[in-house]
Structures are given as C-alpha cells and as structure tokens.
Homo-oligomer: A and B are copies of this chain.
Amino acid sequence: MMNQIKRVAIVGGTHGNEFTGAYLIKKFEQFPNLIERSSIETLTLLANPKAFELKRRYIDKDLNRCFLHQDLENPALLGYEEQRAKAIAQQLGPKGNAQVDAIIDLHSTTANMGLSILLGSLHPASLRLAAYLSSINPRVKVCSLMSPNSESAHLRSLCGLGMVIEVGPVAQGVLNPILFQETENIIHGVLDYFEACNQGTALQLPSTLTLYKYVEEIDYPRNAHGELEAMIHPQLQFRDYEPLHPGDPIYLTFDGRAIAYEGKETVYPVFINEAAYYEKGIAMCLTQKQQIAL
C-alpha cells in the first residue's frame, strides 16, 4: 500500500530552454481545473523563470544539479540557480522531509527518449506508478539513472516519490505540440493513479516492469584541448533504448573511421547526443535492461 498522496508538485522549466514543461506549467496555471483531483492538492512551479525568459538552460549553473544537502545549506552559494534551489527547497522541501508527497519534474531532450519516466528511487510505490503509466501507454519507458552510492542533486530528490517525465527528441527552444500533448496525458495518468490509490480504487497493474538501469556515462572521443574528434555513429543516432552489442559502431571520427563499442556485455544507451550534455562530457548513458517483479 502507498501512503495517501495529498500534495503533488508539478514542476516545469527547471531548464529554461525545455519548453514542453514550461508551457505546460503556464497552461495549468491558466486552466487549473485541468489538474484538479478531489483528493489531491496540486501545486505548479516554473522552476527557473529567468532562464525561461532568456530561453537558456540556465543562467549561472544547471539548476537540476543544485539540490545536494550541503549545497542547499551553504550560505556562500549565491548564484542565481543556487538561490532558486534554496527557494524551491523552502517551498517544497526540506529535502528528506518534504511538504509535498510527490514531485513530477517535466523535461525534454534532443535524444530519442520518446516518453521516458526517470525514477528518483526504486521504492515500490515509484515502481508501481511507473508500471501503471507504461500499462496505459506502451510508448512509456522507465529508467533509473541514479549513480549508486552518491546523493542525488536533482530537484526531484527533494521528495521520496520524485520523478521526471523526459520526452524527446525535441530541440531546445522549441514547443513540439505532439510531445506537449503526450506529456500532458502522462501527467493526467499520474494524477488519476494517485486519485485512485487515495480512494482505494483497485487498478490493474502489470506483474512486471521493464527497467533501464544505470551502468555508466561515456564521453565523445576528444583531443587534448577537449574538442570533439568524433561524432555519434550514424547507425547509433536516435537508437536510444535499442541494444548495443560489443563490437557495434558507436562513434565516427571526422576522418571517417568507425569506433566500436568495446564493452563486454550488451547495453541499452539512452540520452544519445543530448545537446546539453556535450559540456558535461556525456555522449550517452549506458543502461542494462531488467525485468522487475512487482
């Protein structure tokens, strides 16, 4: 059994150039009846308004890496996003003892992630919610990309039941109407699920969940100056969630040489060629595909 979910925060524009979430927040603020459910109080939050205004991911620093305990408590951190993180933690948190029972943070990516749910924990309540969402829309995929043994710095980590809806491919600074509608449908699915649980309504859940679980992040080949020496191999572009076998081409150098994946096991890359990750040194994130019994 899940505890009652009384307060839910829907967050968008954590990255100012990811328009799907930001415009959904604006829509919900204009038409609040859309997210009303009888047993739930739903809050909406445009997390990084200044970055959204400038259509940039962030002003000083990636807001979605500002939610470590020690950073939230460090009075010396005065960058715009560092201050926004503290304000958001005050509004929704504190971290570990949040005023909301669930956080849905809306993101988009230039990778072909389709409709992805990124879980903030592997708590059974999270897994059941994800399983429900994938049962009502077979395009929904579920990832757990938390690096083991390190505290999450993501906004969703303010709350035990925090998750991201990550949709793509969509360019930064573009409002894609198809992904906008699909994201909105998933949000309705989440709220309907919580409402049903709160009211004790029995829901049909699948008995297993397919989970793509973090293995490691890998970078592009670079020269000594940090400049790209290769790009994603054309055969791998947009192939998120498909198997990558040892020996498969993964990069193509500018002089036309294919570089093979040298791992020992088949993996499932996600976030392939995400624009915002070039500066983070991430070409893609490798995952393992697992079946989880619920």
A interface list, Cβ under 8 A from B: 23, 26-27, 30-31, 55, 110, 169-178, 180-181, 227-228, 231-234, 237, 252, 254-255, 273, 275-276, 278-279
Contact = CB atoms under 8 A, between A and B. Distances in A.
19 contacts: A23-B254, A26-B227, A55-B279, A110-B171, A169-B171, A170-B171, A171-B171, A171-B172, A172-B172, A172-B275, A173-B275, A173-B278, A174-B273, A176-B273, A177-B231, A177-B233, A177-B234, A177-B252, A180-B231
B234 A273 contact: no
Nearest to A229: B30
A174, A176, A279: residue with the most chain B Cβ atoms closer than 10 Å: A174
A276 to B, nearest CB: 8
Q: Which 6 A-B pairs have the closest CB atoms?
A: A171-B171, A173-B275, A110-B171, A177-B234, A27-B254, A177-B231
A175 B27 contact: no
Contacts of A169: 171
Number of copies of this chain in the oligomer? 2
A135 to B, nearest CB: 24
Contacts of A278: 55, 173
Contacts of A175: 228, 231-232, 273
Contacts of A233: 177
A92 to B, nearest CB: 25
Given A172-B171, A175-B228, A234 B181 contact: yes
A178 B234 contact: yes
A60 to B, nearest CB: 14
Nearest to A168: B171
A23 B276 CA distance: 17
Given A169-B171, A170-B171, A254 B26 contact: yes
